[in-house]
């Protein structure tokens, strides 16, 4: 496994088919996890395999993307998180932070830890002055994570067949001078 980012409690690893496909199939087939992701529908094995193949190709080309998240102390798979061009559309200049965690890890501050680390990495390694995140209006928990991490609500957008979503952004000039160590983790 290639470590993309590391925090005190988490590892974000570059995606692989060999290690991740069955873990991600379980995650993406859970209706509660997927309720506020993409079009809100679960994914079957073929759809997950297709997504993971695309995510691996994207990661190999851009050296960022959706990673597999593991809890360090238990080595348990927790979910997925990463940075990518909005909707994997490389013609779009906006870089999005995305995350989804298995229900057993909700409410423990992991999402905020992930988002904060991704923000720090993004501004340290990408030539962008802002990062964005998209959430469903009803996903109050995700909105709290984003605001705790420094994001501000920007506007409503319509995606996935005219589904109303909320767009949040954060600007690099508003980030304090957090240092990032050689593995990319935020020094806290």
Domain hosting residue 148, numbered range: 3-174
182 found inside a domain: no
Enter the tokens of residue 176: 């304090």
Cβ(157)–Cβ(142) under 8 Å? no
102 found inside a domain: yes
161 found inside a domain: yes
Residue 20 belongs to a domain with what CATH number? Answer: 3.40.630.30
38 found inside a domain: yes
Structure confidence at residue 108 (pLDDT): 94
Structure confidence at residue 183 (pLDDT): 41
Count of structural domains, the chain: 1
Structure confidence at residue 132 (pLDDT): 97
- Stretches in the chain below the pLDDT threshold 50: 177-188
74 found inside a domain: yes
129 found inside a domain: yes
181 found inside a domain: no
Structure confidence at residue 159 (pLDDT): 79
Measure the CA–CA gap between 116 and 95, rounded to whole angstroms. Answer: 15
């Amino acid at each position: 496994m290639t470590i993309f980012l590391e925090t005190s409690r988490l590892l974000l690893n570059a995606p692989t088919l060999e290690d991740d496909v069955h873990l991600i199939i379980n995650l993406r087939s859970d209706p509660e996890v997927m309720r506020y992701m993409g079009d809100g529908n679960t994914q079957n094995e073929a759809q997950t395999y297709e997504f993971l193949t695309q995510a691996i190709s994207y990661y190999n080309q851009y050296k960022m993307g959706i990673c597999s998240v593991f809890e360090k102390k238990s080595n348990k798979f927790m979910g997925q998180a990463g940075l990518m061009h909005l909707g994997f559309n490389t013609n779009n200049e906006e870089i999005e932070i995305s995350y989804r965690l298995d229900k057993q890890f909700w409410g423990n501050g992991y999402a905020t830890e992930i988002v904060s680390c991704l923000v720090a990495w993004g501004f340290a390694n990408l030539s962008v002055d802002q990062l964005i995140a998209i959430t469903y209006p009803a996903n109050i928990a995700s909105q709290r994570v984003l605001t705790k991490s420094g994001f501000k609500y920007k506007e409503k957008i319509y995606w996935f067949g005219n589904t109303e979503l909320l767009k949040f952004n954060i600007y690099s000039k508003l980030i304090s001078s957090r240092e990032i160590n050689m593995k990319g983790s935020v020094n806290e």
